[in-house]
Amino acid sequence: MSDNLVLEAKSVSKFFGTITALQNVDLHLNKGEVLGVVGDNGAGKSTLMKVLSGLYKPSEGSLFFDKEKVTLNSPRDSQNLGLEMVYQDLALAGNLPIGDNIFLGREPTRKVGPFNFLDHKKRKQLTEEHLAKLKINVKSADQKVEELSGGQRQAVAIARATAFNAKIVLMDEPTAALAVKEVGKVLDLILNLKKLGVSVIVISHRMDDIFTVCDRVMALFQGTNFAESELKNTSRDEVIGWIMGKKD
């Protein structure tokens, strides 16, 4: 295995009561690599992402960041290790403005005497800079997220994930709810991240997404590792077969 390993999961299992969501799943990710994770609904893709981000604790198995074994107690822990997650349900607070969402939990503050107050000016400035860097068009950084289109919300979610120089970004169906025009922008953004040396894991049902951005693809089936290949050594039909649990 490569020396560039940034993230590894070994024999991860996750049980919810009597339901087995994941059973002895392995995953590895190299620096600057885009890994596609495919599988049917209920195959365990989202559960695996939530384990990697620290939202769920694995029932069994272990996680390694930069080859060091870690225990994640919350998404804050994985963030501190440089891993960011873009959730399928986007995990944005619609009642808050774009800037507040991007910096939620990590708000810039300024000290006034013994107290830390929010630095509204700095947050606005950082938000505008970051949105400009990612070429995301919105009316204003103060716009509430609930007023945005699906594509704009996805963009905000990705902006949120990448605002703090993440080393690893997990994306759960980043293009699922988007208009065709917006899909390309998101895929460009993923390739851009790869160029910057960021490792990306993309969950997607869309073969177009997988075959546009990924270096490697792995398939889960009923909560287990089913198949895995470098992208150049496989085909769309083969990957679709994996999703349905068929292997030649």
Residues that bind another protein (CB under 8 A): 53, 55, 74-76, 79, 85, 87, 89-96, 100-101, 104-107, 109, 115-118, 120, 137, 139, 147
Q: How far is the CB of 40 from another protein (least distance, A)?
A: 24
- Using H for helix, E for strand and C for coil, what is the string for 210-238? HHHHCCEEEEEECCEEEEEEEHHHCCHHH
Nearer to another protein, 107 or 188 (CB): 107
The two three-digit tokens of residue 171, written as one number: 């994306």
Nearer to another protein, 93 or 244 (CB): 93
Three-state secondary-structure class, residue 175? coil
Nearer to another protein, 87 or 226 (CB): 87
Q: How far is the CB of 66 from another protein (least distance, A)?
A: 20
Would you say 21 and 14 are in contact if contact means Cβ atoms under 8 Å apart? yes
Q: How far is the CB of 21 from another protein (least distance, A)?
A: 18
**Position 87, amino acid:** Y
- Give the helix/strand (H/E) hosting 15: strand 5-16
Three-state secondary-structure class, residue 18? coil
Q: Are strands 216-221 and 224-230 parallel, antiparallel or unpaired?
A: antiparallel
Nearer to another protein, 96 or 240 (CB): 96
Q: How far is the CB of 123 from another protein (least distance, A)?
A: 10
